[in-house]
A and B are shown apart, each in its own frame.
Chain A
Amino acid sequence: MKVSCSVNGQVLVADDVWEGESLLYVLRERFGLYGSKNACEQGECGSCSVYLDGVLVCACLVLGGQVNGREILTVEGLSHRTALHPVQTAFVEAGAVQCGFCTPGLVVAAHDLLRRVPDPTEAQIREALAGNICRCTGYAKIIDAVQLAAGRMSG
């Protein structure tokens, strides 16, 4: 089937999408947007987190065919050329990135949290990011990063 959708503000079209292809596959292999990661493809790790019509979803759980005519924002769409979003800067500075495979998903999830809750408590951060697995960092510096970003964005 043919899928046409807006991705990071640009209309993209994929032909011959199979019924079984996930949005994650379409983003990665058809649109070449490899920022959304494929660590479990089962909705458990959050490494594929993107916005679909403004709602945070796991791209691996959405079918490619479902996104026809809809709007998607991926991690690639959060920064503008070299200007990083404050969440992204904070992740780098706080040391919240090691291997970085979880990072795009966490950046999108943290972005979503700060959009809804500009000054989250530690408990709110933990709750919001509970669907994102990171195997490297033990999460401490991820919490630091979100707090750092929150401080800068409200300040």
Chain B
Amino acid sequence: MKPRLAPAATVTGRVGENVPRPDGVLKVQGGFPYSSDLQVDRMLWGATVRSPHPYARILSIDTSEALAAPGVRAVLTHEDVPGKRVYGLEIPDQPVLAFDVVRYWGEAVALVAADHPELARRAAQKVHVQYQVLAPLTDPEQALLADAPRLHPDGNVTRHVKIRHGNQDARAEVVVTGEYEVGMQDQAPLGPESGLAVPDEEGGVDLFIATQWLHVDREQLAGVLGLPPDRVRLTMAGIGGAFGAREDLSMQAHACMLALRSGRPVKISYSRPESFVGHVHRHPGRLRYEHGANRDGKLVYVRARIVLDGGAYASSSTAVIANASCFAVGPYRCPNATIDGWVVYTNNPPCGAMRGFGSVQNCYAHEAQMDKLAEALGMDPVELRTRNALETGSQMITGQVIDGPVPVAELLRRIKERPLPAASDPGSLDLTTQPGGVSNTTHGESVRRGVGYAVGFKNVGYSEGFNDYSTARVKLSVVGGRPRVEVHTAAAEVGQGLVTVQAQIAGTELGVTDVVVLNADTRVGSSGSSSASRQTYITGGAVKAACDAVRRRVLALAELELGRKTGKTDGLRLERDSVVSADGREIVSLTTLLGDEVIEETHEFRPRQTTRLDPETGQANAHVQYAFAAHRAVVDVDTELGLVKVVELATAQDVGKAINPQAVEGQLEGGAAQGLGLAVMEEIQLKDGVIRNASFTDYLLPTILDMPPLRMDVLELGDPHSPYGLKGVGEPPTISSGPAIVAAIRAATGRPITRVPVRPHDIVET
């Protein structure tokens, strides 16, 4: 029994072209099946019983009333977990269903499956859990104290990253210090966490799911379900955005357990409020910095203490804090650095991956510090940044020497030289151009303009020795009289355009017009996650490698045939659905050459190896590739009401090679919007561990009225190590956009602004 999934569409296009996405036509018609749209006969609906307390001991769970409720087919608690009771991406510390204690508000405690979603929700309310409420530990600084209650057996420190680079006692002529705070951001993908589990006859299960990484889900699920991995088959369903929110398990194990228990297909689809507790968030952070520089503006040292709140469970916290620490100084040369990055357990909602992954929090701090330093030196802030900009061959504070293009100074030059937008017109009747918008709070009175700059960077791909690879299967055959390439990987199309990119690469490498990318599933090897801006590089690399192997076999075949006839086989290529000679003449069509032959190759691709950070000094070649972007923001601020209108954003980013330029632009635009969100709008409001705004009514996302025009410079400087010279694109736009906006608000108001998102009372003098 299978739900309807999106059919594979044919794509035609080459690397470097604006090829439209093959799923676009279905998506604009409303016909694209997302994971929340799946349905099969006899399907049940699952609902989750969640903890109303951030920290409590579970005294008892009584499911009898729920079991007796109408339409209920199964009720499960931790006692029903067939295999491992805990899971986790890095550290298996998160209960599938809570046992003994709950550690955050909204933690899953029990499950119900029923005939109708409302029956399931009502029955969930009839699961009676008795708690002994404990005082929640919600302040990450407190969690670090020796006498703090220990939330996990190994204590509250999930990881402490130490970077000790150069002279630890360095002194400088000019010193600036600052403390900064970043609020908790939600990825808020529009598609809710959802999926459908279908039991088979033999105790195994098929899961149709929207996830960023099928294979790591399967690995965790097999453990939880106590099944061998081949009895847990995952198939990708349509994904309504991800941004890190789909890296951890949410409802996967729950749906599978309910399906296996009830013997019926079970669908779980979270509501928006539930989604806010159903996935991890961006870590809130507190960052204390000291920058020392010479009078000429050269950085002498940076000392930083970064504390990220990891919430109740580890998720990917250990990797996030590594990034926050490695990139703590920003894309600058800094001979001496002392960085301490901590990520700790608290009773707040768990935090993990979100676009930018640790490089977002520190960018607010290091860029604020650079502006402060510029002011102390009486120097232009862009000039100060340029003087310290990383270059090819520079050493990071981790000791790694960066090779390939490092265009930090060039990116800054581009955004600086772009003409500024016209001053706002106080007589304009278009209120949407004013801070406060159609609320009609100002017609220009007390509105001041500010301009701010920021630059940031991060790694592309996994780091610290993690085994980064992707697998691709490529098949060339003749279908209906035409050559056709089928590409099969397990990589997640989260909206970024990966399906198109895979097809473009195959079309380019094999010179074939019709390329079909099969839906991702676990029948092919792992592609790793759609995260860390890595898929075009790593899965793109795997598709290219598999195509190379297919091409070699096709050309060998051609040489065999032709060699017999003409003896001339030098420089044969694949183009226009044919084998062509070195000068481009068609030698033989693929249709003729292949006949019934099917050429299939499966290949893995690995980027260069990285190494783990030294535990005492943080020195290592920890990262594969670095991607850079810079932003300039222009804002109008109503200084009396503290309202902000972002007037314009400008960005410059090196993408190495734009495989699909239109999709690249989409990443730059969408990423900047999420940066703007964190800068001035988006924050999960917590009070004593409880989320106060778990809805789109109260958690404010940027709308089309909030997003200004984005002026773009896309540089294609070519990385010597990557396929086609490409660089990861997705995350850099989210890193420096927000800090540029905050810098612009500071410039407009003269206020220090040390916390994001910026609130009216941070701007208005009180």
Which A positions have Cβ atoms within 8 angstroms of B? Answer: 18, 20-21, 28-29, 32-42, 44-45, 47, 74-76, 78-79, 84, 87-89, 91-93, 95, 97-104, 107, 123, 125-127, 129-143
Contact = CB atoms under 8 A, between A and B. Distances in A.
Contact of B666 (A20, A88, A141): A141
B166 interface: no
Interface string B28-47: 11111110110100000000
B29 A38 contact: no
Contact of A137 (B29, B272, B670): B670
A35 B31 contact: yes
A8 B656 CA distance: 47
A42 B24 CA distance: 26
A43 B515 CA distance: 40
29 contacts: A29-B39, A32-B39, A37-B36, A37-B191, A39-B190, A40-B695, A42-B272, A42-B697, A44-B695, A44-B696, A47-B190, A91-B28, A92-B20, A92-B28, A95-B663, A98-B241, A99-B189, A99-B239, A104-B27, A126-B704, A127-B432, A127-B705, A130-B703, A133-B190, A135-B670, A136-B241, A138-B666, A138-B671, A141-B662
A95 B191 contact: no
Most buried by A among B238, B669, B702, B709: B669
Contacts of A101: 34, 189-191, 240-241
B703 A97 contact: no
B495 A74 contact: no
Contacts of B438: 127
A97 B243 CA distance: 16
Contact of A135 (B21, B37, B118, B190): B190
Interface residues of B, number: 63
Contacts of B238: 100
B742 interface: no
A91 B239 CA distance: 18
B30 A76 contact: yes
A39 B191 contact: yes
B496 interface: yes
A42 B438 CA distance: 22
Given A99-B494, A100-B495, A135 B701 contact: yes
A35 B190 contact: no
Most buried by A among B18, B187, B665: B665
A49 B89 CA distance: 37
Contacts of A100: 23-24, 27-28, 32, 238, 240, 495
A76 B31 contact: yes
Interface in B298-334: none
B430 A123 contact: yes
A108 to B, nearest CB: 9
A98 B709 contact: no
A30 B261 CA distance: 26
B34 to A, nearest CB: 7
A136 B191 contact: no
Contacts, number: 187
Given A130-B704, A138-B671, A138-B672, A95 B190 contact: no
B192 interface: yes
Contacts of A126: 432, 704-705
B188 interface: yes
Contacts of A92: 20-21, 24-25, 28
A143 B670 CA distance: 13
A95 B19 CA distance: 9
Interface in B1-58: 18, 20-21, 23-25, 27-34, 36-37, 39
A140 B190 contact: no
B115 to A, nearest CB: 12
Contacts of A33: 30
B44 to A, nearest CB: 13
A95 B662 contact: yes
B524 interface: no
A29 B438 CA distance: 37
A92 B433 CA distance: 29
B30 A74 contact: yes
Given A42-B696, A141-B665, A99 B28 contact: no
Given A98-B670, A104-B30, A141-B669, A133 B24 contact: no
Given A44-B696, A101-B189, A135-B674, 4 more contacts: A42-B696, A75-B28, A84-B29, A99-B190
A99 B495 contact: yes
Contact of B192 (A34, A38, A130, A143): A38
Contacts of B239: 99
A99 B697 contact: no
A139 B704 contact: yes
Contacts of B189: 99, 101, 135
Contact of A84 (B28, B191, B271, B670): B28
Contact of B190 (A45, A74, A89): A45
B673 interface: yes
Contacts of A125: 704
A149 to B, nearest CB: 11
B710 interface: yes
B28 A140 contact: no
B669 A140 contact: yes
Interface string B241-252: 111000000000
B690 to A, nearest CB: 19
Contacts of B271: 41
Given A40-B272, A84-B29, A97 B191 contact: no
B118 A20 contact: yes
A132 B20 contact: no
A34 B30 contact: yes
B28 A129 contact: no
Contacts of B496: 98
Interface in B244-301: 269, 271-272
B666 A130 contact: no
B497 interface: yes
A88 to B, nearest CB: 4
Contacts of B707: 138-140
Interface string B144-172: 00000000000000000000000000000
B190 A143 contact: no
Interface in B96-119: 118
A140 B667 CA distance: 11
B671 A99 contact: no
Interface string B637-673: 0000000000000000000000000110110111111
A97 B701 contact: no
A101 B703 CA distance: 15
B192 A39 contact: yes
A129 B33 CA distance: 24
Interface string B489-514: 00000111100000000000000000
Contact of A95 (B665, B674, B702, B710): B665
A39 B666 CA distance: 21
Contacts of B669: 137-141
Nearest to A100: B27
A20 B695 CA distance: 19
B225 to A, nearest CB: 28
Contact of B272 (A20, A32, A41): A41
A20 B121 CA distance: 13
Nearest to A140: B669
Contacts of A45: 190, 696
Contact of A97 (B28, B31, B190, B272): B28
Contacts of A93: 20
Contacts of A89: 28
Most buried by A among B27, B37, B187: B27
Contacts of B25: 84, 88, 92
A76 B438 CA distance: 33
Most buried by B among A103, A125, A131: A103
B695 A98 contact: no
Given A44-B697, A126-B432, A141-B666, A76 B29 contact: yes
A133 to B, nearest CB: 5
A140 B672 CA distance: 11
